[in-house]
Amino acid sequence: MKEVKQVIVVRDDLKISRGKLAVQVAHASIIGYENADREIAEVWKKQGQKKIVLRVESLDELMKIKEKAEKMGLPTGVVVDSGLTEIPPNTVTAIVIGPDYAEKIDKITGSLQLLK
């Protein structure tokens, strides 16, 4: 069976705590799961719901990746933080692509760095 994964891309130019960062990634994951094709989402869960967290350095870079993914027909989503703590209200913090086939997603995100 072909590998299914979910990729979450976060803005690493925002200076936020590990906890807040993790919350953004979790928001993204739920949004992506809800937006995905149901059959592909089931395969993803059976395979162990693989998630990859990548980083970019700007909002502009983030939105370009989202646009490319949409053009390929991949399910995407955007996380907008209400900004009650740490960052201004309505800051875009992350995007999600998938769950969908890894080989499709890799065409968009294959050159991005892992968040360390």
**Candidate residues 2, 17, 46, 72; the one interacting with a second copy per rule CB under 8 A:** 17
DSSP letters of 78-112?
EEEE--SSSS-TTEEEEEEEEEEEHHHHHHHHTTS
Rounded distance between C-alpha atoms, residue 45 and residue 17, angstroms:
28
**Residue 53 CB, nearest approach to a second copy (Å):** 4
Contact 100, 4 (CB under 8 A): yes
89 binds a second copy (CB under 8 A): no
11 binds a second copy (CB under 8 A): no
Considering the complex, state which of residue 18 and residue 38 has its C-beta at the smaller distance from a second copy: 18
Contact 34, 78 (CB under 8 A): no
30 binds a second copy (CB under 8 A): yes
Binding mask 43-82 toward a second copy (x if CB under 8 A, else -) reads: -----xx-xxx-x--------------------------x
Considering the complex, state which of residue 1 and residue 84 has its C-beta at the smaller distance from a second copy: 84
> DSSP secondary-structure letter at 112?
S
